[in-house]
Amino acid sequence: MGPETFGILAALASAASWAIGAMLLKPYAEQFSALTLTFTKGVVALVVLGAAVLVSGSDAIPSGAFWILFASGALGIGIADTLFFRALRELSPHSVVQLMLLGQVATIGMAVVFLGESLISLEWTGVALVIVGVWVVLSDGRQMNGSGPSPLAVLYGLASVLAMAASVTMAKGALESVDPLVATLIRIAGGMAAVVLIVFVFSHTTERRFHFFWTDWRTAAKFAAIAAFITFGGFFLSLLALKYARLAIANTLLSTEPLFVLLIAAVFLKERPEARRVIGSLISLAGIACISAKSIWS
């Protein structure tokens, strides 16, 4: 198995882990604020990753790579997510899908411009098919009524997807000299630093909604287990994908999370998917096959 094939598999496994984690976290999202969940999940991630790094050991980290990864986490995990949640207050589902599509295109553009990546025609076709397939799965096919979101909400959304694209581009550039496990720890630490700063700056609006829920040890234990699963299955595998696969390919495959949500719902929850979503999934599968063909057969 070549390095890029390994990266492709890591990206798909990460997308599947995010899908499972999202479904497991749904009951908590209905009970607690997003800030509470984000902060608590980050605390759990730092603890389990810190323990894993202590057990496995690590080489010296170049200071430049450390600060790039730290800034990448602050930008992508802290700032981008906060901007996205702010935009969600006014954006319609259709607008969110369009922003996600723009984020994919922006990331691919940054990979080509800043990292000098290049894809063959078959891989470009695969990237396009995956993006179109995910769009078909996520879009509801209905016309949106009303006057639309405010310009400020659109700006928040655009800033969010561009910040996320810049974040993963920065991480890709620094991963060559840092172990992915250590890199995951550094990025999450950067994200947590940004979240703490945001909480401090906006404490007058968040203090009444932000609280810990680990006074109930059963709830805390279940949430900690889910957060640990997401840390290794989602965050860590995504950095493995970024390290071993080209950014344009890894990030495209990481966007297939909605396809895994659809599959899990159909297999385990016995939900019958709409024909449009089945078609979108098949389009994306064809794209994944195109992306993987060169790595598997070369």
User: Over 80: is that where the pLDDT of 149 sits?
Assistant: no
Residue 144 pLDDT grade (very low, low, confident, very high; cuts 50, 70, 90): very low
Of 14, 48, 62, residue with least CA distance to 179: 62
Where do the domains of the chain lie? 3-297
Cα 210 to Cα 207: distance, rounded to the nearest angstrom: 5
Q: How many CB atoms lie within 10 A of CB 298?
A: 8
Burial 60-93 (b: 16+ CB within 10 A, else e): ebeeebbebbbbbbbbbbbbbbbbbebbbeebbe
Tens digits of per-residue pLDDT, 258-297? 899 889 888 888 888 889 889 999 999 999 999 988 766 6
Predicted pLDDT at 283 = 95
User: Over 80: is that where the pLDDT of 207 sits?
Assistant: no
Predicted pLDDT at 210 = 47
| Contacts of residue 293, Cβ cutoff 8 Å, sequence gap at least 6 | 122, 126
Mean pLDDT in residue range 122-149: 78
Tens digits of per-residue pLDDT, 281-291? 999 999 999 99
Angle between helices 180-201 and 63-73 (to 10 degrees): 50
Beta-sheet strands, E only, within the chain: none
Cα 67 to Cα 240: distance, rounded to the nearest angstrom: 19
Answer whether 136's CB lies under 8 Å from 265's CB.
Answer: no
Q: pTM of the predicted model, to two decimals?
A: 0.88
Burial of 230 (0-12, 13-18, 19+ CB in 10 A): buried
Tens digits of per-residue pLDDT, 12-21? 999 999 999 9
The structure tokens listed for 33 are 């604020």
Tens digits of per-residue pLDDT, 212-255? 555 577 888 898 999 999 999 999 999 999 999 999 999 999 99
Which DSSP symbol is given to 202?
T
Mean pLDDT in residue range 141-164: 74
